[in-house]
């Protein structure tokens, strides 16, 4: 079905005495905030991050899902996964630790039970894909290829909350190339690759994913962290370590987006502590053509829509289209190569 959103119009009668002259105000500027990634058109650059928005329907009674640029559903594997035992979430200073462990219904049930609802929406649907081996990733994609209504895949090679797979691929350039190339060959839809920040040089992994055929990059996933209950002298989460997200990681995630934008030619989707339009615009000016809102969905589900409105207002005030802001950071000449 068509994904474009039709907006109704309403006529308003204004008397000649109250109507301002065209010369006095000039033409109204209507900014374009749509963006395109690997041939997929997004009405605006704001998506919800995988693992923070369920399968989308869970938030349908809270916000207008059609006003989002895209929904990235929680990680889907070939077979259902129960995830890690509780406790799995712990609130930290300016952030959150989570070790859910990729709990999901599996690819077949996703097609049968979750995708039909997503297909009724005008917003784009991106399916995050996870596996423990290259064969797992390919198998999940082959099953998902049978679903109409999917616009792209987001290959999760960076999850720090599982004991094998995931981050193992995201830390090794050769394994990154292997799993991205195999997944790209199998994929019916464009392939975005989600990178881990838990590496020495993220540009090395970014180039590896690009050379293997990635259509775009999502960065970054969570940082490995932990918390301890000093009274019990026990970890706060059952997995011992967990993924740190939220405002605390934004400065580091922003730096990584800036570095990768200068290292690759494919589009970048920025993630990490985004809770306001200003946060999102920082990522866009650093080089991202879209962003994802994650942790903020837990405490303020309307955050994504406020970010969309804020980006539109900023562009209107600056009389600039979104495309003019992407990668527009002004860097002094002597620092251009840093």
State the pLDDT at residue 330. 96
Q: Which of 159, 164, 289, 315 is catalytic?
A: 159
- What is the pLDDT at residue 37? 98
Q: Which residues pair with 42 in a beta bridge?
A: 35
For tokens 């969309």, name the residue: 308
Q: Are 224 and 243 in contact (CB under 8 A)?
A: yes
Mean pLDDT of 125-130: 97
pLDDT (0 to 100) of residue 159: 61
User: CA–CA separation, 309 vs 315, rounded Å?
Assistant: 10
Span 44-70, mean pLDDT?
98
- Segment 277-305, tens digit of pLDDT: 999 999 999 999 999 999 999 999 999 99
163-195 residue pLDDT tens: 444 456 778 999 999 999 999 999 999 999 999
164 is catalytic: no
For residue 161, is pLDDT > 80?
A: no
Question: How confident is the prediction for the chain on average, in pLDDT?
Answer: 91
* Cβ neighbourhood burial of 335 (10 Å; 0-12, 13-18, 19+): exposed
Quote the pLDDT of residue 20.
41
- Which strands form 89-92's sheet, in the order they lie side by side? 89-92, 95-98, 241-245, 223-226
Q: Model confidence over 30-52: pLDDT tens digits?
A: 999 999 999 999 999 999 999 99
pLDDT of amino acid 168: 62
Stretch 328-332: mean pLDDT: 94
What is the reported pLDDT for 26? 59
Which residue from 86, 77, 135, 136 is spatially nearest to 107, judged by alpha carbons?
Answer: 77
């Amino acid at each position: 079905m068509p994904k474009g959103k039709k907006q109704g119009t309403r006529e308003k009668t204004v008397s000649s005495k109250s109507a301002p002259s065209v010369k006095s105000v000039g033409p109204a500027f209507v900014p374009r905030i749509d963006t395109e990634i690997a041939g997929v058109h997004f009405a605006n650059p704001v998506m919800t991050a995988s693992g923070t928005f369920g399968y989308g329907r869970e938030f349908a009674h809270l916000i207008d899902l059609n006003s989002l640029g895209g929904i990235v559903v929680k990680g889907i594997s070939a077979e259902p996964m129960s995830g890690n035992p509780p406790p799995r979430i712990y609130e930290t200073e300016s952030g959150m630790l989570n070790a859910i462990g990729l709990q999901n219904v599996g690819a077949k049930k996703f097609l049968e039970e979750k995708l039909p609802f997503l297909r009724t929406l005008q917003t784009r649907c991106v399916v995050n894909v996870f596996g423990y081996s290259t064969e797992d990733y390919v198998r999940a994609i082959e099953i998902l290829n049978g679903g109409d209504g999917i616009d792209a895949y987001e290959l999760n090679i960076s999850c720090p909350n599982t004991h094998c797979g995931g981050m193992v691929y995201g830390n090794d350039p050769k394994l990154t190339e292997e799993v991205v190339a195999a997944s790209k060959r199998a994929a019916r839809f464009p392939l975005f690759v989600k990178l881990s920040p838990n590496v020495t040089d993220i540009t090395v992994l970014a180039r590896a994913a690009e050379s293997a055929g990635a259509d775009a990059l999502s960065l970054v996933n969570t940082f490995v962290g932990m918390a301890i209950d000093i009274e019990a002298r026990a970890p706060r989460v059952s997995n011992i370590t967990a993924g740190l997200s939220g405002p605390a990681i934004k400065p580091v995630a922003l730096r990584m987006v800036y570095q990768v934008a200068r290292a690759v030619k494919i589009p970048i989707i920025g993630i990490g502590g985004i809770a306001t339009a200003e946060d999102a615009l920082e990522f866009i000016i650093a080089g991202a053509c879209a962003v994802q809102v994650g942790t903020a969905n837990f405490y303020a589900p309307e955050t994504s829509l406020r970010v969309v409105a804020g980006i539109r207002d900023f562009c209107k005030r600056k009389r600039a289209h979104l495309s003019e802001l992407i990668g527009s950071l002004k860097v002094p000449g002597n620092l251009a190569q840093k």
